[in-house]
Structure 1
Amino acid sequence: MSDPHLIGGRYEVGEMLGRGGMAEVRKGRDVRLGRTVAIKRLRTDLASDSTFQARFRREAQSAASLNDPSIVSVYDTGEEMSTDGSNVAQPYIVMEYVAGRTLREVLREGGDRKILPERALEITSGVLRALDYSHRAGIIHRDIKPGNVMLTPAGNVKVMDFGIARAVSDASSTMTQTAAVVGTAQYLSPEQARGETVDSRSDVYSTGCLLYELLTGRPPFVGDSPVAVAYQHVREVPQPPSSLDEDLTPEIDAIVMKALAKDVGDRYPSAAAMKDDIDRYLAGRPIEAPAVAAAGATGVLPAADATRVAQVADTPGDDEEEPRKKRWPLLLLLLLLLAGVVAALVFGPRLLEPDAEPVSVPTITGMTQEVAERTLQTRGLEVGEVTEVESEQVAAGRVVSQSPGEGESLAPGSEVDFEVSLGPPQIEVPDLVGDNRFDAESELQGLDLRVRFEERASDEPTDQVLEMNPAPGTEVAENAQITLIWSSGPNEVPDVVGETEERARELIEEAGFEVFVTEDTTTEAEAGTVLQQNPGAGQQQDQGSSVTIVVSRYEPPETETPTPTPDPAEPTQPTAEPAPAEPGDPPDDGEGGGRDSGPGNGNGPGNGNGNGRGGPGSD
């Protein structure tokens, strides 16, 4: 098996995470720090441009300086020689690996299910928080789109691709030269489409396009080609979101349309200003964006702007369509006047009738209570009875259900009742202090609560509940964890007399006491044996108090071997018998020293001077 490919000498390149028009992103591992990362490498055909490389490096370094929870962190950047045979230095960026999904994936997986308006606004607020931070650091994103916004498993927003988008837009003034710009034409600001210098308000416009798609399921402009879409960004005013979803409120229309203003002076002056307006709406306070004059109104901007887009794209056929587009507003005006005349003829008599036209009940489920009330009032309906209910599926403070339901027809001024969620059902923790811990466990589990035990020594009976956390009477959500602190009973001093010192220590410390040792060297017992203890076995002591043990250190004295006492009847040293005299031997000259009183044997002792002669012995 071949060794894994390393770049920068420390980043192990792994599986492909995604591929775009200008770069690929792979999962990687920093072998030096042992953490998972994401590695983005620029396409080799773009990397061969030395100007682009320099700008890429500069912008990547700027992006690495951004440190905000809502921005994907950049850890490192560098260049590595390509491995495809092109032999060019390929820039790369090492980024924080985020386990989540992009908004593009969320929109695709949702299909016909739209994101709730409040959730769409919360996500957009997170994007604007990231942009506000980057703008204050002097970095413009320039490529805000669903594919560059991630949602973590916890639902938090992470904005990606700071730096690269800046380098791309600086390196190319036309859309046809850079595939990355073409791929995001649906989110281009008018000034980007015209190839002009941009500032932070260009990011505000792109964020408005993002919010539009989150609310309606489609961008504000769609077309057969990126050039056609860019043309609309420059020339046409988008339809308000409520024209695609009538449940969207006028305030949401106002926020979106202010962000999508063609003139940068008419937009929100900063990402922070747009975020503040969204946050005000979500909190139920008045917003600052002006109301949208008329849903469905269109506008045509100066032809010079369109000419610049045509020059950028150099797309044939636009000149032939120009006269027809200039006539279109006049034709539309005539059609509207004709429709007004027909409406007056058909519905005029009804206006004089006492009963006004019925009102279609909007959908308010999922909205906050404040937004729901405002939505009803803008439709000419009144707020009826509001009931608070517990709900596991709907967040606290949002509408769970309504009556009458969506689409029903009511007379103006009719009331609509709805229920507001209190959140998941709350369970009051029962008072189980003093109960047996096993009985308490069964009761809590019957209330769909989880139980955790903690043991504590006390004078109370064994297994009795001493304390609860959270305390009795506290309201908790279903499946919350309750800690039961139970008594392990009084602390009894164990019997360790006769045990070894080592075993005695184990028993005493397991019972929760400390050990104090004294030694006894006089008692005749095996060394290391416990002779006494104080307190005695079975007595109750406070946990942590000491138990004294007396340990034998007895060493028996050494035994000496006794010297045997000589027997007086036996000579202390055996005497050898003299050898028989040989003929011619000289007489014994030994020094005699005693008198033989034994029986005579012809060998009597000498006379004490060594010249004794043997004689007959006397019995």
Structure 2
Amino acid sequence: MTAQPRLLGGRYEIGGVLGYGGMAEVHRGRDLRLGRDVAIKMLRNDLARDETFLTRFRREAQNAASLNHPSIVAVYDTGEDAGNSAVPYIVMEYVEGRTLKEVLTAEGRLAPRRACEMVADVCAALDFSHRHQIIHRDVKPGNVMLATNGQVKVMDFGIARAMAAGQATMTQTSAVIGTAQYLSPEQARGETVDRRSDVYATGCLLFELLCGDPPFTGDNPVSVAYQHVREAPRTPSSINPDVPPSVDAIVLKALAKNPANRYQTAGEMRDDLERAIAGRPVMATPLMGDDERTQLLAGASDDETRAVPAAVEEPRKNRKGVIALWTVASLLLVAALGYGFWYLTEGSKVDVPNVVGEEQEVAEAAIREAGLVPTAVPVLSEDDQEGLVVTQSPDGLERVSVGSEVRLEVGTGSGLVEVPDLSGAKTTNEVIDLLNDVNLSVTFEDVDGVEPGFVSQDPPKGEKVEPKTKVTVEWSRGNLSQVPNVVGETEDNACNTLSNNGFSCSVTYVTGDRPLGTVLSQDPGAGQEREGGQVNLTVVGVSVPSLVGMTIEEAQAAMPDGLTLSPPDGAEPDWEITSQSPSDGDVVKGGTTVTVEAESSGGLPTG
């Protein structure tokens, strides 16, 4: 006997295992309702009773379900398997492809341009999640998919994986969460993390794609975490000579120990990667090449070669005056040096004005008035922050040298587009045009319906989404008819009405106090939608009396309204009835004729 496939939620058929994680296993599945392949992530049975893991798993479902971005694996549905100790599951987009970990294993380090293009897509996904207040905390090659069409997809948002096999993972009471090779220094110290921690991990990812290995490796997670906190990473070009200085600069900026010195958003890092791909100067500080350092040192050596004047013996009589002069000069020099040191360390410093929330022009004017140089950088923001300073670096009231640069991130709005109302569209082409007008695309799903046309849309109207997001539109085939109400109609009228609406009728007769031929009930009921078929009617009929043993004359008198007696030809009124059709007790349609056979009193049957 063939085993029945296991179903989740009555619609998801579970297939083979695609992979295992520290707290879950992922199966290939099939959505029987929509007819599409899916990936189903299920919490391991041995962890299903652990409230900590249940909370983390549910948080992942909530976080990922709130993110709708082309570079993030989509979550379609969540639930719990009632037949298996209420084990929770997540139904996700099935991505045909490989993880970047598998790509590195198969191909080794990647070409710089290809690596930068992939990581730019990762940054776009992270920037989107950060703007939705979700920090990944576990960016690594194993959590990034490369689809067969070349599209990059980031997975496992908002989940701290616990002791995955073959991975150096550190977790301690939610203080340190992540994989050791990709931990930011603040994560390694157990401090609070923010979006810049994801930027650091993305720098580790880019380093590994360029060089084949993470920036720091060791025998155990603790030694790796120590290196993240204390040791400077090598430049990728020292391992892979194909890496240009601009990409070296991007990697080292992302890997800065102090979060304030990194890219402040994943969007900034993406912008720099796109500049590097296009061959334009990057915002990160470029590194000096070997040739440039050699030229600088050579120039300094030339300047150091000078003629030294011969010493002249001072006359003895002037020695006291010379000593006094040198004493005064030394005191003045010490004073000058002291003033210079003070000026360089504190005297030349000013407080950075706090301009967060100010309009760009007002903020730049305040920065210049303080003797500093403003540099405005546009960043995506909430719509009500458009034109305002969102963040600044250095922070307000920090003391810096006069002439220092102050970086101002100025909001440009969310960059999102509003999903239009599609309910008024009469054709699919009209839907396509409405979405194209706002840089969105569409996927149509045919559904049963009475009237052909629009049924529903997801995301709903008014929701703001990323440009080029696909909107799923349910479109009725118009293949159904609504069952009309025929209760109270006569049988003939009811059947004609049903026929005109694409249905056939089947009649059952019962006795009742309504006029003969009146429809008492119908199944399916009025208003139900059906693709044609039969409607069963219950109609008032008449009950046939028992006539056998009566004379024809008696039978004529006993016949109820709605029935007609048909005796044999030539029968006399006193002949006795021997059989009848329909039988006694049958309920028949009004107007039915009851046919009888009879015999004369002499016993000779007639028919």
- The answer to which structure has the higher strand fraction is 2
TM-score normalised over the length of structure 1: 0.44
TM-score w.r.t. length of structure 2: 0.45
Structure with larger Rg: 1
